[in-house]
Amino acid sequence: LAERLRPGDVAVDATVGNGNDTLVLARLVSPGGRVYGFDIQEAALAKASDMISRHGLLDVVTLIHRGHETMCEYFTEKVDAIVFNLGYLPGGDHNITTNPATTVRALENGLGLLNPGGVICIVVYTGHQGGKEEQRQLEAYLGGLDKKEFCVGKLDFLNRGSAPFLIIIEKKATLEGWQ
């Protein structure tokens, strides 16, 4: 993301939680850019808002207390990056997790909002209940994307048990030059 995002760009944090990823995105698109952040937990958004404010970047960020599957309702701009950090909120209620159906719906929306050359990064955790099913549905959906339009890769650890892994989706900048 640091290689791709530039001041003035638009990014989405689909799972704000404690706001760490939102802050990274806000730094990368400042000045002049915007970050839209979604979470279903109001208390998490309040905490994230305080933290981002302490870093002087709250004016760059719009925090929205809704599920990421509704992202199309909240802005009309095309976006340059979207980040998903799935699972439950560290330090929060472990029973409140992302859900495969809404995650896939958010991705469908997000892919439509992405600028050519834009990226979606998804950190996937499989250790909690429902995590493996989320991985299955996510990989089934992303594995079916048109390779002429999207490049979908996976970065996994070979020596770290049930560590999270990363999925990166790039919307091709042009159709020429790709296999």
Ligand X SMILES: C[S@@+](CC[C@H](N)C(=O)[O-])C[C@H]1O[C@@H](n2cnc3c(N)ncnc32)[C@H](O)[C@@H]1O
> What residue ranges bind ligand X (CB under 6 A)?
14-15, 17-21, 38-41, 44, 67-69, 85, 87, 89, 96, 98, 102
Q: Pick the closer one to ligand X by CB: 149 or 156.
A: 156
State in angstroms the smallest separation of the CB of 115 from ligand X. Answer: 22
Cβ–Cβ < 8 Å for 154, 167? yes
Which positions ≥6 away from 46 have C-beta within 8 Å? none
Residue type (1 letter), 166? L
Of 95, 73, 100, nearest to 84 by C-alpha is 100
Nearer Cβ to ligand X (17/110): 17
How far apart are CB 14 and ligand X at their closest, in Å?
Answer: 6
Give least dist CB 21 to ligand X, A.
4
Closer Cβ to ligand X, 19 or 33, answer by number: 19
What is the CB neighbour count within 10 angstroms for residue 152?
16
30 versus 41: smaller Cβ distance to ligand X:
41
DSSP calls for 70-134: GGGGT--S-EEEEEEE-SB-TTS-TT-B--HHHHHHHHHHHHHHEEEEEEEEEEE--SSTTHHHH
Minimum CB separation of residue 36 from ligand X in Å reads: 11
